[in-house]
Amino acid sequence: MKIRHTRVTAITAGTGLAATALVATAAYASAGSNEVNAAPAGTTSSAVSAQAKTAKSLAAELGAARTAGSFIDESGKLVVNVTDSSAAQSVRAAGAQPKLVKRSGQDLNKIHKALQKKVTTTGTAYAVNPKTNTVVVSFDSSVTGAKLAKVNKQLKQFGSAVTTKKVPGRYKLFTLGGEAIYAAPSGRCSLGFNAKKGEEYFFVTAGHCTELAGKTWFADQGKTKKLGTATVSKFPGEDYAVVKYDAAPEDTKGAVKGKDGEVDITGAADATVGQKVTRSGSTTGVHEGEVTALDQTVNYQEGQVDGLIQTTVCAEPGDSGGSLYAEDKALGLTSGGSGNCTSGGETFFNPVGEALAAGGLEIY
């Protein structure tokens, strides 16, 4: 696909930029009736957004000492973990399904924070898993021998509250490869979503792209068609960037590439564990999966990144910076992961809301 210099567009990580603009109006998770809890996961983005809103409201009302995360089960119902029967009654009253668990969110978050300081070995990742009521620590194929022994020793003190998992391949940033946007002095990534602030136009992508490849981005490999320059760049710690267009794009109708054609993006939302999601990329095309964890910490070789969305969606080099979405809602920007789209793997995404908030932007 080619990019017209005056008609800049944002197809997701992996499909690169195409000749149709990707636009949307910012809209975060909104309140909804309790009826949405019975809807199958992924049936509508508004249903999932309402479930996320209900979960947030309950967590705020009951507190981290009485709740321990939430998820959407296979039937599409919102499940909220609680530590006592009174909290369970509140969850039922809100239209969700309570699940009594041993460990509170407060307990698990303390462990997560301790791991962020103790376990910094490259190739490890960890997050609270609400389905198992544990903190799951993952190792990639580089964590062996003395490195593995060291990590296991560090985890021993947490007992059964921590579980471990081996993943294929190595955790890496998905920066290179594919038809996408090009950086000066060097590097290739993918544009995530177009956004604006007043009459100024921007796009959001991965922070490691702007930190490791360059701040100035072009639509072509020869770097003759300049798109713009990064105004916000976060990596490591977080993984997002905001790039300001040199000129406003003419086409204000936009969509991401889906399996059956273009998918219009009408706003942004928070991801929810158990939610069905889609990623589209210039290297690997369109792939689907499920959100498995939030607030994920990953120790890349280049540094630690926190607060990521963990998914079962595959990705490969060239997909960095591109979009994670669920139906018509933007969720995240491709960061990195392990495996590939042949044998499978997992991919991490920085929540798109962080990039929008940092730039004071709205998806258009």
Contact 284, 181 (CB under 8 A): no
- Out of 49, 104, 190, 320, which one is annotated catalytic? 320
- Is 85 among the catalytic positions? no
- Out of 140, 239, 319, 328, which one is annotated catalytic? 239
DSSP code string of 35-93: GGGGSPTTS-HHHHHHHHHHHHHHHHHH-TTTEEEEEE-TTS-EEEEESSHHHHHHHHH
Q: How far apart are CA 58 and CA 308, in angstroms?
A: 22
- Out of 190, 208, 280, 328, which one is annotated catalytic? 208
Contact 331, 48 (CB under 8 A): no
Residue 24, Cβ neighbours under 10 Å: how many?
24
- Whether the bond between 185 and the residue before it is cis, its omega within 30 degrees of 0, is yes
Q: How far apart are CA 181 and CA 257, in angstroms?
A: 16
- Is 239 among the catalytic positions? yes
- Is 320 among the catalytic positions? yes
> Taking the alpha carbons of 286, 290, 291, 296 in that order, is the dihedral positive or negative?
negative
**Active-site residue numbers?**
208, 239, 320
